[in-house]
Homo-oligomer: A and B are copies of this chain.
Amino acid sequence: MKRCVVLLSGGIDSSTTLAIARSEGYEVYALSFRYGQRHVVELKRAEDIARSMCIIHHTVLDIDMGQIGGSALTSNIDVPKGRAISEMNKEIPVTYVPARNTIFLSFALALAEVVDADTIFIGANALDYSGYPDCRPEYLSAFESMANLATKAGVSGKARFKIVAPLINLTKGDIIKKGLELGVDFSLTHSCYDPDPEGRACMRCDSCILRKKGFHEAGMTDPASVVKI
């Protein structure tokens, strides 16, 4: 059975990506991170999502990115609220976490090598996103080239690592429709960058605004709009 690693944050994109990987017949190794994010509630959701899709292998790694800081998600900088979607692609916001996807993909690469997987799925999306540089196709392609030079499996020819971003050119609405087709229970997902202590979404950060747009495009009510605790 072919194997893959899926980066799973517990949001709409990574949950849909997980469902896509599963639907393609992969044995899935889901990977999440406790990286000092203020929205650590997403990890509980990642576990719920993995369980709801009967994913047996789910690893949560502790990595100390809080010490590095430099982002509204990992330090005391305020998360911007109420930005128009048209603004989001213009300037990289303070919610950008330096080198986050590079760090996540590096751990995914390590795990892939250890479990004999050659494919890494990431829910990166370059349409409805906050303008992060490490969500673009050219970045993912450069990571893939590097990955095959970095590893014993890559160098020996045992594996040809592929970084797969199946959502890269989809709108948020398309992603939600795709997830629904594949049976994703979006009521379990979490998107907000700045939830209250009970895990309730702020509804005003970029991530909440894009989520709202997506459900609007998909013609449905967000099933997580009454957020579980």
Contact = CB atoms under 8 A, between A and B. Distances in A.
B107 A99 contact: yes
A95 to B, nearest CB: 11
Which applies to chain A's interface (DSSP): helix, strand, loop or mixed? helix
Interface in A133-156: 133-134, 136, 138-139, 142-143, 145-147, 149-152, 154-156
A114 B98 contact: yes
Given A110-B99, A150-B101, A151-B98, A92 B139 contact: no
Given A92-B156, A106-B106, A156-B92, A111 B150 contact: no
A136 B148 CA distance: 12
- Chain A: number of interface residues, binned into ranges: 35 or more
B110 A133 contact: no
Interface of A: 59, 61-65, 67-70, 92, 96-103, 106-107, 109-111, 113-114, 133-134, 136, 138-139, 142-143, 145-147, 149-152, 154-156
